[in-house]
Structure 1
Amino acid sequence: LPPNRFRFPDPRNAPPSGFVAAGGNLAPETIVGAYRAGLFPWPHDGVDTLWWSPDPRAILPPERFHVSRRLARRVRQGRFRVTLDAAFAQVIAACAVRPEGTWITPGIMRAYLRLHTLGWAHSFEVWNPEGALVGGLYGLRVGPLFGAESMFHRATDASKIALLALCRFAPRDGIALIDVQLPTPHLDSLGAEAIPRAEYLRRIAAAGL
């Protein structure tokens, strides 16, 4: 990628809500540069180029992913097939369909589709026995960091199976840190932990991002 021509403010000075800056663009080098700086784009009110670094930050250590008895049973049944990067456009489009509205704007969708074409953005897909896409997630890979952006399901536990696939794939492919951005009760139940922003920034710096 060409050098990122925008310099982001120091996220350590941002409020706990995480808002760091507005402006720039959604070029691949800008988004990758944001992740390297501990930021991510999160549109609000029709503005795509808003950059955030919340405090605390939610991460999911791959080894801590919680497999419930029900999820373990579904995995053992072998009804679902999981793929990597087989249907990125379908996954991000499905993630954008939410009754409460979505932050995945057309601009964000185009930006991540381009990042996928360039080999930076990836998806995990979950398919049912009939060959229908019933779950998945997508995110951005920057060295040992995977920034999980969004996931969806059309069948019970399908998004959890996609996240489990990511956690199993991570150590085999050199992913040491899965960033899930904002703490939520659902992510907490799956093994995510909230860490101070300063600790998150320390970890990505130590990883050489």
Structure 2
Amino acid sequence: MKRKGILVVVSGFSGAGKGTLMEQLLKTYDNYSLSISMTTRAPRPKEREGREYFFVTKESFEKEIKQDGLIEYATYCENYYGTPRKYVEEQLNRGKDIILEIEIQGALKIKEKFPTALLLFVMPPSAKELEKRLTKRGTETPEVIEKRLRRAVEEAQGIEKYDFIIVNDDLESCTRRLHNLITAAHNAPIRNEEFIENMRQELNALVKGEK
């Protein structure tokens, strides 16, 4: 049976360490592909076009929306974020597990379109730790940090809609837990309906042949 890729959606509060976690996952294991999102926000220091994001204008983004070139999109802190359709579908067909690091709005839209998608939510050990990480990052003003914390309050109400939560308390152990969850998800019945149906047909054929 050919192994099909799983669409894995990873969300979490800004500052929870999603990006670092995804970087470590791809560095440690070789069957993952990280989807590159498109956004209208400005690049942060050290971010490069086509690596962290595809940085586009608002006009270009809205053109992609009209042409159905995104499998999801959402607004966050007054900017658009979206996932290009073509790249995702290519990777899944190749058997790659593709990781989408997106916000909660987009994640729930993905689940509607792709019921077999695996939704994971990354959390810090505590709210105080989240504030500490946002401040330590040093890339945003106090006003933006406050906005991100307020956004986290809103997102905390939707966590129950995810399949699993991952507490990012230690990078190595967190990466290992993430990999184990995705590996186990390949054996879930919802992702093996064709195999299950073939097994049923073979069993029925065997039973009929014995009579």
TM-score (norm 2): 0.29
More helix by percentage: 2
Which structure would you say has the larger RCO, counting Cα contacts within 8 Å and 6 or more residues apart?
A: 2
- Name the larger-Rg structure: 2
